[in-house]
Amino acid sequence: MKVLGMGNALVDMMIRIDDERIFREFGLLKGGMRLVDSALIKNVLERLKSFPVEIATGGSAANTVHGLAKLGVKTSFIGKVASDDFGKFMMEDMLKNGVNPNLLNGKAPTGIALTLITPDSERTFAVNLGCAIELLPEDINAEMFEGYNIFHIEGFLVQNKELLEKAVRLAKKAGAKVSFDLASFDVVEENFIFLKNIVEKYVDILFANEDEATAFTGLTPEKALNVISQTVPVTIIKIGEKGSLISDRKDVVRVDSIKVQAVDTTGAGDLYAAGFLYGMINGLSMHTSGEIGSLLSGKVIEVIGAKMDDERWSNIYTELRKLMME
């Protein structure tokens, strides 16, 4: 089984802060994602220059395929980066971790996701897409999608609606199941009609957190699950510490989260998707697939950023073997 991902190829710059007034100062909504220009990124970094900055490769779909690759799944990723240091960093990181990078070359600098992390582990994003936004419909073709079983795409690509729709259409034509992550409640609110059409027409597996599910349906997570599953074969709604709700139209299961000491929720949803898709690829039940998703999301929130070291992955492999034997 092979998985193809497509999304905004970004480099994460993560800063832990202790004063939420900075959100008002720069017009950011706590827990949300705002697209900004490079000047605002520069101003925030200047304002927080006394705070340590951690840098890692990122982007929602890229994080998911990275997680799948670490679990041994053959993966590829389509995105656009510049020939700058951050672009080279992205390319080298994917190659090192077993992801086949189909990274096209852009004119603007490589995109940056500035992530501000508050003491409650909540993330607030200021994103400058850079050349990620230069990924255009004419950059992708049917050949790129051939031979893949699952195509995983992020809702953040909604900034180019024609690209997003062409991608899911090509994936379906190639025989792949479309896995879609709604990405952010504000993305859903601002693009509701378009996303509703995409979900109903193309999506086989939908990932959403409770805020995104509510923005998409206007309902509580439980009721949202029932509504979405009328048109989507497999729906997953993540409900934070309470775990996740999963429906395949016939059954609904609830999966508990694992108890961890949360440090940073960056990548939690992305790694949950990696774990769940891994379970599906291996023919496991919805519940076990959800447990693998919870395992990965729980482990990643114990560290800063969406990437984990080899020791943590080794522990995950041990826990994974136990889950798959149950």
Residue carrying structure tokens 């597996």: 205
> Cα separation of 168 and 304, whole Å?
32
Q: How many CA atoms lie within 13 A of 4 on its CB side?
A: 25
Q: What is the mean pLDDT of the chain?
A: 94
> Cα separation of 244 and 254, whole Å?
6
pLDDT, tens only, 240-273: 889 999 999 999 999 999 988 888 888 899 999 9
CATH number of 2-8+59-109+133-325: 3.40.1190.20
Rounded to an integer, the average pLDDT of 294-315 is 92
Query: Domain coordinates of the chain in residue numbers?
Result: 2-8+59-109+133-325
Question: For residue 323, is pLDDT > 90?
Answer: no
pLDDT, tens only, 142-200: 999 999 999 999 999 998 999 999 999 999 999 999 999 998 888 999 999 999 999 99
Question: For residue 326, is pLDDT > 80?
Answer: no
> Cα separation of 84 and 315, whole Å?
35
> Cα separation of 122 and 115, whole Å?
10
pLDDT for the residue numbered 265: 80
Question: For residue 104, is pLDDT > 90?
Answer: yes
Instruction: Work out the number of other CB atoms within 10 angstroms of the CB of residue 16.
Output: 18
Question: Taking CA 256 as the corner, what is the angle to CA 18 and CA 119, rounded to the nearest 5 degrees?
Answer: 5
pLDDT, tens only, 191-218: 999 999 999 999 999 999 999 999 999 9
Contact in structure between 9 and 111 (CB atoms under 8 Å): yes
pLDDT for the residue numbered 24: 93
